[in-house]
Structures are given as structure tokens and as C-alpha cells.
Amino acid sequence: MKMLPVDSSNLSAVGYDPKTNIMHIRFQSGRLYAYYDVPENIYHDLMNADSLGSFFNSFIKDFFRYTKLS
């Protein structure tokens, strides 16, 4: 999955696959997570948010199933 670098103190890169609705998020710590069944509009809203970290905490963190990849 292509990861796009982001300007955030919490997130370092984000990738999204619209065919599977899987979003990958790499954090500044280096950890990579996959989030499942994420609607495409949530991905776009995240990428356009003033604060990606705040958006992640408010709309993704406790709302989607996830797996730690690394």
C-alpha cells in the first residue's frame, strides 16, 4: 500500500486502499497499524483535517477494528 507522508506530531504516514477499505497508519513512534472497514470519506476527512492527530483520536482510534503490523 502506498503510504503518504503527513505533517503531524502523532502520525507520520497514511495509506488507504478503497477496494478493501483498509487504512494503514504509521505513527511517529514507527509503529504501523491497519484499520479495517474504514469508509473512504473518513480517509479523505483525515487527510484534510487541521489536526490529523485530533481527527484520529476523535473518529478512528476507538471506532475501527485494527491490527498492529509492526
Confidence at residue 9, expressed as pLDDT on a 0 to 100 scale = 94
Question: How much is the pLDDT for 44?
Answer: 98
Mean pLDDT over residues 60-66, rounded?
Answer: 97
Whole-structure pTM value: 0.95
Q: What does the pLDDT read at residue 52? A: 97
Question: Averaged over 9-20, what is the pLDDT?
Answer: 97
pLDDT in tens, 16-60: 999 999 999 999 999 999 999 999 999 999 999 999 999 999 999
- Whether residue 46 contacts residue 25, with contact meaning beta carbons closer than 8 Å, is answered with no
Backbone angles phi, psi at 34, to 5 degrees: -110, 130
